Chain A
Amino acid sequence: MSEEYDVEFVERGDREARFLVRGITPGFANGIRRAMVADVPTMAIDTVRFIENSSVMFDEQLALRLGLVPLTTPPEGEFVEDDTVTLSIDVEGPATAYSGDLVSSDSLVEPADENVPIIELKDGQRLEAEADARLERGKDHAKHQGGVAVGYRHLQRVEVVDDLPEFQEPESQIVRGVVEENGELVPTSEFDHDLSTRHPGKEIRLEDVPNAFVFHVETDGSFSVEELVTRAVDSIEARATELEDAVQL
């Protein structure tokens, strides 16, 4: 990236994070959100070959369940779109087949969650299948969405103006997300999202901070939040350069 943006983390986890970005337009903020949801390729099972399935569910139902299992996505550049990795599963009842029973042919692509039940097998039932995972984008199918519940809000600034008139009924004032107070970032969960509990008996002014957005990002486990955001921004950049090259005279 040629331009630097001011990014500040409020909460930071592997799969869930909240961060503030300053100096971007609402359009660009939405562009990042959309890129995170639909434009970052992830691995997911795309075709399943059933060798044996004597379980109580149909092949098609099991295939759809397998498709929704999140797989770890290899680092950028390791795979190109439409490359495949084969995974196999072989479980005999009485047992439950879990996503962790999927054996991958490539250690870079493995089930991100091991405890998702695929199908409960009774005595004598068996599931044996081979699956091909492909790298595709969220806009092709929801199972390829790396970001889950990705959203952003304006950063709001809280100012204590005055005391409330003596006999005025206290009214709750709900805000959600993160607020800025005297230059400090405070997640609203700290005061139960209600400013009247934080500043009882005070008159409060709330205003949007221009061009400052608080993102809330969760991933399905395909990669870390950090990876998702940087890949989303990279994909916007790639599109922009492609456009620039295309319109060059």
Chain B
Amino acid sequence: MMVPVRCFTCGNVVGEHWEEFDERANQGDEDPQKVLDELGVDRYCCRRMLVSHTDLVDVVSPYQ
């Protein structure tokens, strides 16, 4: 649905980086690895949080 606020494993706040990551790596054509490095999301537990996330609000909102 929405991005997790924190990393499940270590508790680092990852939610604040989602919009920039989405814009640059998902919508744009930048390399996700480079974007994550620049955002300071270093650990692989936090990286998978952003890499594997999909926003579902648009998918479920018609069924309100």
In the bound assembly, the distance between CA atoms of A56 and B2 in angstroms comes to: 10
Chain A residues within CB distance 8 Å of chain B:
54, 56-57, 61, 65, 68-70, 99, 113-120, 122, 125, 142, 145, 148-149, 218, 220-221
**Quick one: given A56-B64, A65-B2, are A117 and B19 in contact (CB under 8 Å)?**
yes
What is the CA–CA distance of A149 and B1 in the complex, to the nearest angstrom? Answer: 26
Known: A116-B16, A221-B13. 7 other contacts (CB 8 A): A61-B1, A68-B5, A69-B13, A115-B19, A117-B15, A120-B55, A148-B10
Among A68, A145, A221, the one with the most B-chain Cβ atoms within 10 Å of its Cβ is A68
Report B2 CB to chain A, min CB distance, Å.
6
A119 vs B57: C-alpha distance in the bound complex, in angstroms? 9
Which residues from chain B sit less than 8 Å from chain A, CB to CB?
1-3, 5-6, 10-13, 15-16, 18-19, 43, 55, 57, 60-61, 64
Give the most central of B12, B16, B19: most A CB within 10 Å.
B16
- Is A122 touching B12 in the complex (CB atoms < 8 A)? no
Q: Is A149 a contact of B10 with CB atoms below 8 Å?
A: yes
Contact of B61 among A70, A122, A145 (CB under 8 A): A122
Query: A117 and B2: CB pair below 8 A?
Result: yes
Taking CB atoms, residues of chain A closer than 8 Å to B55 are 120
Contact indicator B19/A119 (Cβ below 8 Å)? no
- Picked from B12, B60, B64, the residue with its CB within 8 Å of the CB of A220 is B12
Q: Which residue in chain B gives the minimum CB-CB distance to A100?
A: B16
Other-chain contact of A117, B3, B6, B12 (Cβ < 8 Å): B3
